[in-house]
Amino acid sequence: MWTLKVYSCETHINHALDVFVAKEETFPIMEKLDEEKMLSTKCEYCDTPASYIVANA
């Protein structure tokens, strides 16, 4: 089960991964969101629709 999830756009994906690694001290899994979810979810770091989800496995 995922305990930490971060949504991110293309621009902030590297930042999201860095933050995640710093917090969790483990490398996260990263998945591209399907289109339906992309439209309803915003990036954690800006107002762009999110393209990725970063989460611990």
Closest residue to Zn ion in the complex (CB): 43
Closest approach of Zn ion to the CB of residue 47, in Å: 8
* In the complex, least distance from residue 40 CB atom to Zn ion, rounded to whole angstroms: 15
Rank residues 25 and 40 by Cβ distance to Zn ion and give the closer one: 40
Strand positions, DSSP E, 1-57? 5-8, 29-32, 52-55
- Sign of the CA dihedral with 42 first, then 30, 28, and 11 last: negative
Nearer to Zn ion, 1 or 50 (CB): 50
